[in-house]
Amino acid sequence: MNRTVLLADAGLLAVALIWGASFAVLKETLNTFQPMTLLAVRFSLSAAILSIVFSRRVTRMTRTDIKAGFIVGFFLFLGFIAQTYGLVYTTAGKNAFLTTTYVVVVPFMGWALTRRFPGFHAFLSAGLCIVGVGFLTLGGEGVGGFNKGDALTLLCAVFYSAQLMSIDHYAKRMDPIILAVTQMIAMALYCGIFAVPLETWPTAIHARGLWGMGFLVLFATVLAFAVQMAAQRHSPPTHVSLILSTESFFGALTGGVFLGERFSPKMAIGAVLMFSAILVAEFLPRWFRQRREISGH
């Protein structure tokens, strides 16, 4: 593994850490801003900051770049809406783990798009993931049982898979910063269209809400998306999805530390099974390839 790939992987791990912490921050910030308004403000500010910092590159934006950004941004919009509304009804820890089921979805979505069979390991991974989701979401009553927040979060994983595939399609042939900016502009517009008629601006904005918005804009959006776009040019989608899936661990950890959330034993088993599904999806095909190379077939 060369130095460029190692740096890309390190960057993606840092992104996973930031995104993991953002589950607790987002949960807290939703006490101040309504979901669509929060996302509209978050991505408007993020797009403005990146446009100023990288003004020379942004001024070279073409119609093709804008089209790509709005396509990627559409899937991101659907994913964030499902995830953010899901977080209103479930815990940050469950939201984090359920979001990472996109790792299992990616091979099947690739199969549908390219007609390339993902391998039997994909079905094993999917089976582990389904059982894990069952343990995680059916472990008790209230937020411990399966609720509409969990259903929305599972739906968001499908949209994130589509966004990941679309990034892979466009990132290798266009400036990653321009792609990051255009998808944020798209996100801001999509959310603004719905936020203005459907939601109201908060009557009072507390300091925790401002600090939360600041973290979400500067770290979880501007820095994280720029790093993801740059790093994904050097890593395949399945490799990227594996590293980013560690956000589930960081999300559960910060949810427990800062929000006092607790996992029951059944939920912990579910989390382990889901992470095992992620490992199977990434490492089992590599093992088979190595075995074939060793045997000469």
Contact (CB, 8 A) for 251 and 23: yes
Of how many residues is the chain composed? 297
Model confidence, pTM: 0.75
Closest by CA to 121, choosing from 9, 266, 287, is: 287
**Where in the sequence is the domain holding 16, given as residue range(s)?**
3-295
DSSP string for the chain: --HHHHHHHHHHHHHHHHHHHHHHHHHHHTTTS-HHHHHHHHHHHHHHHHHHHTHHHHTT--HHHHHHHHHHHHHHHHHHHHHHHHHHHS-HHHHHHHHTTHHHHHHHHHHHHH-----HHHHHHHHHHHHHHHHHHSSSSGGGS--HHHHHHHHHHHHHHHHHHHHHHHHTTS-HHHHHHHHHHHHHHHHHHHHHHH----S---HHHHHHHHHHHIIIIIIHHHHHHHHGGGS-HHHHHHHHTTHHHHHHHHHHHHH-----HHHHHHHHHHHHHHHHHHHHHHHHHHHHHHHT-
Contact (CB, 8 A) for 44 and 158: no
Q: How many CA atoms lie within 13 A of 228 on its CB side?
A: 27
Separation between Cα atoms, residue 106 and residue 112, nearest integer Å? 10
Query: What are the residue ranges in the chain where pLDDT is below 70?
Result: 1-2, 118, 136-145, 236-239, 241, 263, 282-297
pLDDT tens profile 99-133: 877 777 777 777 777 777 767 777 787 777 778 77
Separation between Cα atoms, residue 101 and residue 154, nearest integer Å? 7
Separation between Cα atoms, residue 37 and residue 196, nearest integer Å? 8
Separation between Cα atoms, residue 261 and residue 263, nearest integer Å? 7
Domains contained in the chain, number: 1
Closest by CA to 108, choosing from 164, 33, 52, 41, is: 164
Write out the two tokens for 87: 């977080």
